[in-house]
Amino acid sequence: MHYSLKTVFLFFLSCIVLIFNYGLITAASNVGLNYGLLGDNLPSPSNVINLYKSIGITKVRIFDPNTEVLNALRGHQDIQVTVGVRDEDLALLAASEEAVEGWFTTNIEPYLADVNISFITVGNEVIPGPIGPQVLPVMTSLTNLVKSRNLPISISTVVSMANLGQSYPPSAGTFTSQAREQLTPVLKFLSEKSVPILVNMYPYFPYATDPVNIHLDYAISKNEAVVVQDGPLGYSNMFDAMFDTFVWAMEKEGVKDLPIVVSETGWPSAGNGDATTPDIAATYNGNFVKHVVSGKGTPKRPNSGVEGFLFATFNENQKPPGTEQNFGLYNPVDMQPIYKLF
C-alpha cells in the first residue's frame, strides 16, 4: 500500500501530539490540586470541576465540607476528594462522639453515594498549638465511625514544618517539645492504622527568609549536583531535604515507615520581586510534578515515591496581600493559566 510523504508526516505528527498530551494527563493524574475558596472572583465549582477534568486532575483537596463544591463533584467518582474539618469545629467535636457523628451525618454522609471522598483531615496546621490536643480525639472518633460503616475513608491531619525544632542537616531533624507532646501520639496512631500523615512543605519560605545562603536553583529543584552532603545521603534540592528531615524526626520518636503525603507545596508567581516570577513558579511546580510522576523517592526513602498536592488552583484575593495571593496556577477571572504546567 502506498502512502504519500505528507500522509506519513501527518501520522507521525499526530502520534507525537498524542504522546505529549498523554504525558500531560498522566502528570496531572498523579498530582493533586488544593482548591481554596478565599476569593470573591472565583469561578463556579462546576466550572472548576470541568477544568480539573480537562487537565486530568484526579485528586482534589478542599479545606472544609463546602456544599457547593461537594455537589459539583457528584458523579465525578474518578476524582478522589480530601475533605478538611474546620479548625473552629474541633473543640465541639473533641467533646463527644455524638458530635462527631452529627458532623459526619451532615457534612459527609449526603455525598457518599456519588462523591469519592478518600480522606478526611482533622485540622489544618493546628499542631503544635493551643487546639492541637483536640486533633487526636476527633481523629479517633472519625476512624471508629468509618470503620463501623466499612467506608474506605482514611482519617488523618495536616501539619506544617513548624513542628521541627532542628532541621539541618536532615539527619539532625527533631521535633519541638510541644510537637513531641501533641504530634507524636498522632503519628503513632496513624502508624497503627497504616494511614499517612499529611505535611505542608514549602521550600519557598526558607529561601525567601535567607536568599543569600540558600541558592535559588537548590530551592526550586533545578540543581542536579549535590549541595548538602549528610553522611551517605546527598541532596541536590531543598524539597527532598525537607521531606527527609521530617522522616528523621519521626524516626527519633519511634515512628518508622509511616507514609507522608505532601498536602501542600508550591511557589508564588508574584509578590516578592525577582524571587517570585511566573517562570520561577513554573520551574518549581513543574519539577515537583516530575518528581511525583517519576515514582522516585528521596535519598532516605529512595524506594517510596512522593505523593502530593500543589497549592493552589487559583490566586485568592481574600488572602493576605503579597505572595499569599499569588500561589495559584490559574487566574480566577478567566480561568487561564498564569503559566503553563498541565
Q: Do residues 94 and 138 touch, judged by C-beta distance below 8 A?
A: yes
In this predicted structure, what is the pLDDT of residue 10?
39
Is-catalytic flag, 264? yes
Q: Which helix (H) or strand (E) holds 165?
A: strand 164-166
What are the two backbone dihedrals, phi and then psi, of residue 217, each rounded to the nearest 5 degrees?
-60, -35
Q: Do residues 29 and 60 touch, judged by C-beta distance below 8 A?
A: no
In this predicted structure, what is the pLDDT of residue 30?
87
As a whole number, mean pLDDT of residues 278-283 equals 98
The string over 306-338, giving b where at least 16 C-beta atoms fall within 10 Å of a residue's C-beta and e elsewhere, is bbbbbbbbbbbbebeeebebbbbbbebeebeeb
pLDDT tens for residues 138-195?
999 999 999 999 999 999 999 999 999 999 999 999 999 999 999 999 999 999 999 9
**Residues 29, 33, 37, 43: is their CA dihedral positive or negative?**
negative
Instruction: Say which of 68, 101, 109, 125 is annotated catalytic.
Output: 125
Q: Do residues 81 and 73 touch, judged by C-beta distance below 8 A?
A: yes
In the structure, what pLDDT confidence band is assigned to residue 3 with cuts at 50, 70 and 90? very low
- HEC per residue, 135-150: HHHHHHHHHHHHHHCC
Closest by Cα among 225, 216, 200, 203 to 279: 216
Above pLDDT 90, what percent of the chain? 91
Helix (H/G/I), strand (E/B), else coil: 229 = strand
pLDDT tens for residues 7-53?
433 334 444 333 334 444 445 558 999 999 999 999 999 999 999 99
Q: Which helix (H) or strand (E) holds 27?
A: helix 5-30
- From the CB of residue 165, how many other CB atoms can be counted at a distance below 10 Å? 15
Kindly report the average pLDDT of the chain as a whole number.
Answer: 93
pLDDT tens for residues 311-342?
999 999 999 999 999 999 999 999 999 999 99
The rounded distance, in Å, linking the Cα atoms of 3 and 10 is 11
Q: Which residue is associated with the grid cell 458530635?
A: 99
Is-catalytic flag, 97? no
Instruction: Say which of 68, 88, 253, 264 is annotated catalytic.
Output: 264
Does 79 score more than 50 pLDDT? yes
In this predicted structure, what is the pLDDT of residue 27?
53
What are the two backbone dihedrals, phi and then psi, of residue 123, each rounded to the nearest 5 degrees?
85, 150
In the structure, what pLDDT confidence band is assigned to residue 4 with cuts at 50, 70 and 90? very low
What grid cell was written down for 335? 480561568
Read off the amino acid at residue 3: Y
Query: DSSP code of 70?
Result: H
The rounded distance, in Å, linking the Cα atoms of 235 and 1 is 55
